[in-house]
Structure 1
Amino acid sequence: MTLVCYQPPAVGNWQGRTDGEEPGVLRWHQVIRPVNLEREPLPALAQGQKGIAFLGFASDEGVRRNKGRTGAVEGPAALRKACSGFPVHFSGHILADAGTIACDGRQLEMAQDALAATVSHILGSGYLPVLFGGGHEITYGHEKGIRRFFGDKAQTGIINFDAHFDIREPDENGPSSGTGFWQIAQERQAEKIPFHYLALGIQQNSNTPKLFETAEAFGADHLPASLFQQKYHERLISAIQAFIQRTDHIYLTTCLDVFAAPYAPGVSATAYNGLVPDALFLDCFRTVLRSGKLAGTDIAELNPSLDQDQRTARLAASLVFETVMNYFTR
């Protein structure tokens, strides 16, 4: 497979404590399979076997265009490092590192096209793509790859845990980390395809009235951060389940700035009153993971240069762990 903007997996990204080689003490860095997609395919899956392919998207050009604090380009490497020491609580399935799509200079659109092609390739190999960002410009390429694989007739829903709609119309700087869902909505309208979009954790103080109006005009659904209280548990879960039922596949994206700043300081735009990654949030997150419709998922906006004590990286890694465990044990 010939790819532009592609970087093969680096062995040095997966290192950690080793307690032995027997199955009961293995960690992710001991079982991860690095695959250079330019030279070899992902390992063939046996009957009943599942595979997850990690793919990095090293870009913060979209954040720069969006006038944010850059540094998310280093997110994929930091997230791999944070995941390395996880214990292996699954057997018989394949965890692969498929490398990284890197934005060269300011060639964001080229990198997004390469990302879409690689995501489609991963799905075609029977693997679930789990992407490590990078800025939230990851959304446009990831969703495009999913749609390319399943075709326009499939009802692909987008669930976005985010403080922001990211549905802004591009300005003179072009597409950015804040325009991905606007771009997707425009393309779907042009092709007469339904735009199924659910944003969870939206902050009123982080979105202009025009963004709320744009979301409404596109028929997007959203649940504000203020609803993430235990007393609204049933309402949250019911809304997520109702949205999933209207779709054939789900693309799940999590922008780390949805979380409160003490839990996620390493993002471009922190939220003092963001979500708490507690049991309520995990119930919502797992509702998506356990739906049986997950077609791809990513973590966006991890900025190691702004992180403190690796809090944000560890939070992001915990979401990856949840994804792996729920997919392999479902």
Structure 2
Amino acid sequence: MATYKKPSSKIWSGRTSAQQLYLHEKVQCLPITKIEKQTQKSFAVLGYACDEGVKRNQGRIGAKDGPYHIRKALGKMPNHLPNEMALLDFGDVVCADGDMEAAQQQLTDHTAKLLASGTFPILLGGGHDIAYGHYNGIKKYLISEKRRPSIGIINFDAHFDLRDDINGANSGTPFYQIANENDPFHYLCLGIRKDANDRMLFQTAHELDTKFLERETFRMQFVDEINKWIIAFLKGVDQVYVTIDLDGFSSAFAPGVSAASPMGYSQDIVLESLKTILASEKLISLDIAEMNPRYDVDGRTAKLAASIMHYLIHNM
């Protein structure tokens, strides 16, 4: 089973002012049952407090607490949003009794509701199995609107997450599941590492016509070439869903993840890539996955995730 946890204003704290200078003063906490059609530009935060998929994938558990710590870090950051723009927290989907599938289904339903309300969803994980529920929520919304545009997935990650689900789903299977249920399958991975994917995963990626750039190429010195890849991918889809797996970053920047490595990429190239994606005006939703506070150092990973969110909401 899956449960839903209402948002808590106590999570959001920081310096106080009389002018909403900080995001904890800007955010509004609303239960998902109170969601209404938005008449103003708004961002909706929804957590996926689940690391069952990581556990099944033999990773380090602890990511279920990721959404809490990302919120804590974001709340302390400065608010530069205009008064008419809203930042809304709709609480968490919680995985209970190891029922990841029920949590993913609830995430699907809530994501569709957020999109239908006119908000821009920012989902916080939790394991990367967040992607399966998130994608299906986007798809459900588009179908309800009688729209069938092609949905592209851009995954910032060290891993393809294209493991087969013959023995059940986990945090390493979401894009394989999506590929099997959707034709065509539009998938671009940025930051792939050979020391993080076996040869069978590379073979699966080729069979599914996955586009990818390896970590050696995903660096600032190749930013122009990277942007060409992103722009070419975007031309082939109508909407794009972005998912950012924090374990793709070097552990120098993100030690608090389920599968840390010093061989990852830097935050600079991710922000430059996001700038290109935002310029296309095709971005429909975004999530951040694999935040594991159990292994974080001085809140470094939570601050990285929060800074990415801060960049996103201030540059859309």
Q: Within 2, Cα distance between the matches of 1:14 and 1:231?
A: 38
Q: What is the CA deviation profile of residues 236-265 of structure 1, one whole-angstrom value per residue up to 9, with x for unaligned ones? A: 000001101111111000000111111110
- Which of the residues 93, 111, 117 maps onto 1:119? 111
Residues 115 and 145 in structure 1, CA contact (< 8 A), matched pair in contact too = yes
Residues 2 and 95 in structure 2, CA contact (< 8 A), matched pair in contact too = no
- Which of the residues 98, 119, 127 maps onto 1:106? 98
Residues 163 and 203 in structure 1, CA contact (< 8 A), matched pair in contact too = yes
- Give how far 1:171 is off: 4.3
Q: Which residue pairs with 2:57 in the alignment?
A: 66
Q: Within 2, Cα distance between the matches of 1:272 and 1:27?
A: 32
- The correspondence of residues 90-105 of structure 1 with structure 2, limited to 5 A, is 90-91=81-82, 92-105=84-97
Q: Which residue pairs with 1:242 in the alignment?
A: 232
- Which of the residues 136, 142, 159 maps onto 1:150? 142
Residues 290 and 326 in structure 1, CA contact (< 8 A), matched pair in contact too = no
The residue type paired with residue 50 of structure 1 is K
- Which of the residues 260, 265, 280 maps onto 2:255? 265
Residue 321, structure 1, aligned to residue 310, structure 2 = yes
Q: Within 2, Cα distance between the matches of 1:293 and 1:239?
A: 16
Q: Which residue pairs with 1:297 in the alignment?
A: 286
Unaligned 5+ runs, structure 1 = none
Aligned length: 312
Q: Within 2, Cα distance between the matches of 1:209 and 1:220?
A: 14
Q: Which residue pairs with 1:227 in the alignment?
A: 217
The residue type paired with residue 285 of structure 1 is L
- Which structure 1 residue ranges, 4+ long, deviate > 3 Å from structure 2? none
Q: What is the CA deviation profile of residues 103-140 of structure 1, one whole-angstrom value per residue up to 9, with x for unaligned ones? A: 01210000000000000000000001100100101000
- Which of the residues 135, 140, 143 maps onto 2:132? 140
Q: Which residue pairs with 1:202 in the alignment?
A: 192
Q: Which residue pairs with 1:282 in the alignment?
A: 271
Other structure's SS at 2:216 match: helix
Q: Within 2, Cα distance between the matches of 1:281 and 1:73?
A: 24
- Give how far 1:4 is off: 5.5
The residue type paired with residue 164 of structure 1 is H
Other structure's SS at 1:29 match: helix
- Percent identical pairs in the alignment equals 41
TM-score (norm 2): 0.96
Task: Say if 1:66 and 1:87 are closer, same or farther in 2 by CA, change over 3 A.
Answer: same
Q: Which residue pairs with 2:179 in the alignment?
A: 185
- Give how far 1:290 is off: 2.8
Q: Which residue pairs with 1:33 in the alignment?
A: 28
- Which of the residues 278, 299, 304 maps onto 1:310? 299
Q: Within 1, Cα distance between the matches of 2:160 and 2:149?
A: 23
Q: Within 1, Cα distance between the matches of 2:222 and 2:2?
A: 46
Unaligned 5+ runs, structure 2 = none
The residue type paired with residue 73 of structure 2 is A
Other structure's SS at 1:227 match: coil
Q: Within 1, Cα distance between the matches of 2:297 and 2:196?
A: 23
Q: Within 1, Cα distance between the matches of 2:291 and 2:163?
A: 21
Q: Within 1, Cα distance between the matches of 2:74 and 2:166?
A: 37
Q: Within 2, Cα distance between the matches of 1:231 and 1:69?
A: 33
Q: What is the CA deviation profile of residues 20-49 of structure 1, one whole-angstrom value per residue up to 9, with x for unaligned ones? A: 2125xx2111111111123x124x433xx2
The residue type paired with residue 199 of structure 1 is C
Other structure's SS at 2:32 match: coil
Residues 112 and 137 in structure 2, CA contact (< 8 A), matched pair in contact too = yes
- Give how far 1:215 is off: 0.8
Q: What is the CA deviation profile of residues 6-32 of structure 1, one whole-angstrom value per residue up to 9, with x for unaligned ones? A: 1110121111111x2125xx2111111
- Give how far 1:53 is off: 0.4
TM-score (norm 1): 0.92
The residue type paired with residue 309 of structure 1 is D
- Give how far 1:284 is off: 1.0
